[in-house]
Structure 1
Amino acid sequence: MKNRSVLTIAATLCAGVLGLTACGGGDAGGEASAEGPVTLDYTWWGSQDRADRMTKAIAAFEAAHPDIKINPNFTDYDGYWQKRATEVAGGGLPDVMQFDISYLRQYADRGALLDLEEVSDTLDTSGIAETLKPSGQIDGATYGVPISTNALGLFYNPAIVQQAGVAAPTGDMTWDQFNAWIAEVSAKAPEGVFGSGDYTGTFWLFDMHLRQQGKQAITEDGEVGFTKAELKQWWESTAELRADGSLISAERTTQLLPKSPFGGGESATEFSWDNFLAGYLADSGAEKLEIVAPPSDGDDKGLFLKASMVYSIGAGAEDPEAAAEFVDFMVNDPQVGQIFGTSRGIPASQTQRDGTTFEGADAQIVAYEESLAGELGDSPAPLAIGFGTAESAFKRISEDINYGRTSVDDAVEEWFAEAESALQQ
């Protein structure tokens, strides 16, 4: 460990700044001797698959750093942010956290996250592209280190496409052409199989659609970047497909949970981040799935590499240097790259990427992002406070449209009211 004595460890451990981390091992905070290891609370969201991989990565870190022990905890995405909100209201956060750029500004502005420049001697970010680093930066301070990158794509199942007897979707389709393709697949595929679900409920996809027109859904200043008429047009763009039964129903989509219609083998296509490929393959049992660029009505695809997640350190971490050593290992070590592959996206650090062998689905994702090299815009900076609430409302309200519980006009008014309220907080 870099320049850290046992006395320094002991003093730091028991200083108790905001103190969620115990002064040593044990189940919930039993004290260890001064010679005992540093214990760091670390939390993340994700599936059981991610937890299994994380367990291996933590074991590799602890083997290389016997003076640091990790107390792990994980949950699903929604539950994750509920826990963080409770913790920050109570005065502290875990030592190390997986963070989403949708929430980074909200916590940084409250002083709950450490400026990582304070541990820059320990945490090496030289392998991360300068164009990606702004994903974790706010007003000149660094609150997050990108873990990995991903890009939006259109997944399709070639077996279903072949069964329907239609040509495969391409990366140069317009939105109207894609909607026509959906209708054709739904008409020709076996009963119970559809061309798509209603993709207009995905906020990031709408943001991409707006970027194709030189706009964005929520500006960095926390303003809605589009009009009610534009949102109405988006939600109504699939109205005909909803009406004629060309889209898998909301009811059936709910029945398939936790799988998506695509993962459940009942939809030929689905838009998502490219790192979902491994999960889709596991869910569907398909031998092969393909990914192409989403539709666009012009030359600008509206695509960008997004930091799929970042690592942050709590401002009250009792041993920031130990926390930084853990983050440095998780971001840069090739062992971690081998363990995760592209399940969290392509490793953001060139150091980790160069030491990772990509095969199968991982190689496919790397090839997809490389194919977009000339199409990508700037990576987004941490999102405005309230973005996460606006995104969640978008999904919920669009589901109400699909269930027939609300009209598009009423849905537009409801979303704008909720989003503007959230963004003004």
Structure 2
Amino acid sequence: MFTKKRLLGGLALATGAAIALTGCSSSDAPAPGEAQEFDPNEKVELDLAFWGDETRAGFYNEAIEAFNEEYPNITVKPQFLDFAGFWEKRQTEAAGGGLPDVMQFDYSYLRQYGENNLLLDLGPYLGEEIKTDAIPESAVKIGVVGDKTVGLPTSTNAWAMFQNTALADELGVGVFPDGGSYEEYEQWIADATEAGGGEAWGAGDFTGVIQFFELYKRSQGEDLFTEEGEANFTEEELADFWTMGQEIRDGKGITTQEAVEYDPVGAFASGDLVAEMTWDNFGAGYLAQLPEEYQDLTITAPPVWEEGAKDLYLKPSMLHTISAKTEHPAAAAVLVDFLVNSPKVGEIFGTNRGLPVSQTQLDGADLDELSTKVRDYEASIADRLGDAPPVPIAAYGSLEQKFRSLGEDLGHGLKTPEEAAAEFFVELDAAINN
């Protein structure tokens, strides 16, 4: 037997238009803010819904078996779909008031479902059925919508820079060091690109992805959006930011035109780009594509805009939530605790769901070389980590894609930064006000 432990947290990126959702509380459930007492002798059935592939489904089946060794009176019925099918079914269930008891959840949908009272307030169960002492406080806060904790992360990731160590050495530039400025980074890109002679490049235009704009704003002490879901930046600020990437687009790094030739694998995964910034859980995908001679990846922090800024943060790879209408909230909370905190679950899943957010679960995971690098990277940026931003607005997914497509237009010379910013604000206004 092993002891159940801790939990909490927050992220992922998904979805376009908001859906009209309404929810109400089950008449059998405790009143809001009250906890139902857990009775381990009561026979209970819980639905557990998740997305993923057959490998993940197998892991969940193993985890359920381990859970039943400790809680034999709770029968867990798994529901497994791919990502798109999962959310189509949840939308249908939400409209009809019948969400599963426990759900694997995507961060992009958390505000939508939380603000419509479809998710249980986990607050009354924190520290009791759901242990939190092995979870960083910053991770606990990630699942808060309004004044309620409606989701707890299974795992976290952070924005990072992956570097092809061997290619950096071949080009004579070495890996870009931690703590370097963006001005130094742009020069490093130019040096690597020149050394590559049209066959390899330093990096691409970092201004074409919304997460870089987010880091830029956070370096100034501000998030992209307020707690109320309003934009926290101006059209002029966005145009100025997009202007920063002009030198790279003019030939000092890989251009959009060159990058298109590498679709769908990408220049970095093909072994022709030294550095790429993305979430730190993307490493396994890179290794699956990179040529054998380029399997050594270095993971460093993004360049620095402002010394001492808390621009980085941990986001959830995924979360667990409980339906507000579950008839067994205490038993559901016990299941969530097990899925997030149990060392046995860490042993079963490893980093399949990302780097475990709970230290007890992380201790149970058998980390491979890359996962160890990710763990060490997240530990190395502790002084640079700030609180996670407010839960994404409902239309964040569509805005993220619009930002990327406008970045591509800039790379092709189809728009000026001012024109692109004006177009983005048209969509932003519609997303916020509709």
Decide whether the 8 Å contact of 1:136 with 1:381 is kept in 2: no
Decide whether the 8 Å contact of 2:109 with 2:394 is kept in 1: yes
Q: Distance in 1 between matches of 2:240 and 2:185?
A: 16
Aligned-partner residue type, residue 360 of structure 1: E
Structure 1 partner of 2:64: 61
CA distance 1:177–1:385, shift in 2 (3 Å): same
- TM (normalized to structure 1)? 0.81
Structure 1 partner of 2:428: 419
Q: Distance in 1 between matches of 2:247 and 2:117?
A: 48
Structure 2 partner of 1:9: none
Residue 296 in structure 1 maps to residue 304 in structure 2: yes
Decide whether the 8 Å contact of 1:201 with 1:395 is kept in 2: yes
Q: Which runs of 5+ in 1 are unaligned?
A: 1-15, 19-34
Equivalent of residue 241 in structure 2, options 220, 234, 238: 234
- After the TM superposition, which of the residue ranges 343-352 and 119-128 deviates more from structure 2? 119-128
Q: Distance in 1 between matches of 2:91 and 2:235?
A: 31
Q: How many pairs does the alignment contain?
A: 388
Decide whether the 8 Å contact of 2:347 with 2:365 is kept in 1: yes
Aligned-residue offset at 1:83: 5.1
Secondary structure of 1:303's aligned partner: coil
Decide whether the 8 Å contact of 1:275 with 1:344 is kept in 2: no
Residue 122 in structure 1 maps to residue 129 in structure 2: yes
Aligned-residue offset at 1:371: 1.3
Aligned-residue CA RMSD (Å) = 2.9
Question: Which aligned pairs between 1:307-386 and structure 2 lie closer than 5 A?
Answer: 307-317=316-326, 319-386=328-395
Structure 2 partner of 1:306: 315
Decide whether the 8 Å contact of 1:144 with 1:311 is kept in 2: yes
Aligned-residue offset at 1:147: 1.3
Question: Which aligned pairs between 1:54-133 and structure 2 lie closer than 5 A?
Answer: 54-65=57-68, 67-76=74-83, 81=87, 84-117=90-123, 121-133=128-140
- TM (normalized to structure 2)? 0.80
Q: Distance in 2 between matches of 1:260 and 1:69?
A: 41
Secondary structure of 2:283's aligned partner: helix
Secondary structure of 2:269's aligned partner: coil
Deviations 1:188-214 (A, max 9, x none): 126432222322222122111111112
Structure 2 partner of 1:167: 174
Aligned-residue offset at 1:73: 2.2
Aligned-residue offset at 1:422: 1.3
Question: Which aligned pairs between 1:240-259 and structure 2 lie closer than 5 A?
Answer: 240-244=247-251, 246-250=253-257, 252-253=259-260, 255-257=262-264, 259=265
Aligned-partner residue type, residue 338 of structure 1: E
Q: Distance in 2 between matches of 1:79 and 1:397?
A: 29
Residue 396 in structure 1 maps to residue 402 in structure 2: no
Aligned-partner residue type, residue 274 of structure 1: D
Secondary structure of 1:127's aligned partner: coil
Aligned-residue offset at 1:313: 1.7
Secondary structure of 2:418's aligned partner: helix
Aligned-residue offset at 1:79: 6.5
Decide whether the 8 Å contact of 1:386 with 1:422 is kept in 2: yes
Deviations 1:311-369 (A, max 9, x none): 11222345444533432221011122233334543311122123334341121111111
CA distance 1:320–1:339, shift in 2 (3 Å): same
Decide whether the 8 Å contact of 2:181 with 2:303 is kept in 1: yes
Q: Distance in 2 between matches of 1:253 and 1:69?
A: 46
Structure 1 partner of 2:5: none
Deviations 1:360-406 (A, max 9, x none): 11211111111112222123342344433432322233233334443
Aligned-partner residue type, residue 315 of structure 2: K
Q: Distance in 2 between matches of 1:316 and 1:152?
A: 35
Aligned-partner residue type, residue 139 of structure 1: G
Q: Distance in 2 between matches of 1:412 and 1:350?
A: 42
- After the TM superposition, which of the residue ranges 286-295 and 97-106 deviates more from structure 2? 97-106
Aligned-residue offset at 1:250: 4.9
Q: Distance in 2 between matches of 1:213 and 1:80?
A: 38
Percent identity (aligned): 37
Structure 2 partner of 1:144: 151
CA distance 1:218–1:180, shift in 2 (3 Å): same
Structure 2 partner of 1:195: 202
Secondary structure of 2:367's aligned partner: coil
